[in-house]
Amino acid sequence: MNPSVDGLSALRFDVITLFPDFFTSPLASGLISKALDRQIAEVYLTNPRDFTTDKHHRVDDEPYGGGVGMVMKPDPIFAAVESLPPGSEREIILFSPQGELMDQNLFHHLASRCDQVVLICGHYEGVDERVTHLLTREVSLGDFVLTCGEVPALALLNGVIRLLPGTVGKADSVAQDSFQNLLLDYPHYTRPAQFRGWEVPAVLRSGNHQAIQAWRRQQQIDRTRVRRPDLYQRWQQQQNSE
């Protein structure tokens, strides 16, 4: 693994995908592109079709037992993963509606505990069940179904890379994210002070940093209670236990 410009080891991502071009523009844009340029993270794209042995390079086949759709074959996926240099602290993730929900805790775990993250992007009706023997976990973006695993893979790449030291200029902005300590973020305002009849709260223009901090904290609590009562209940339980 190559050291970054800051002397830290770059976190390696290996994406197993039938559509490598899907990632070209997102990885060349914004803070993620800068993080890759500075070798804070590395992303390698591997196409399982390159590991097929038949003349048609088939990566899918009909399901045993009948049914609609096609299923991704296990052998190209196994071969693609086994071709990668293994990291010492590696997670191998398949994106699947049956997986655990993607959240900020997962991002923090991957950013702080891993030196390699392998992402397998499924297609069609899913992947052969035997692929699960490769995995450390299955992950879902939410309670809905997408056409491909590349969309949640991009979400995970973005969420994890932005937590790596050096990606975001101000570390405090990451520390104050939504879902930190189970609370949503507080409202943000900038100039002008008045816009179409809506005014920036007076406390934010007061210069009283203690009052501003208290206001923001209360806004986090109130927003979470109204918008995410599930999170608010977990936060209350955490407060009571402390």
In the chain, the largest separation of any two C-alpha atoms, in whole Å, equals 71
Q: Which of 150, 164, 149, 155 is nearest to 108 (CA)?
A: 164
Encoding tokens for residue 210?
């203690």
Q: Which of 111, 109, 83, 79 is nearest to 11 (CA)?
A: 111
Which residues are designated catalytic? Answer: 97, 125, 162, 177
Amino acid code (one letter) for 60: D
Instruction: Tell how strand 90-101 and strand 137-140 pair up.
Output: parallel
Contact 223, 184 (CB under 8 A): yes
Contact 231, 183 (CB under 8 A): yes
Contact 163, 105 (CB under 8 A): no
Q: Which of 63, 84, 98 is nearest to 16 (CA)?
A: 84
Is residue 64 packed enough to be buried (19+ CB in 10 Å), middle (13-18) or exposed (0-12)? exposed
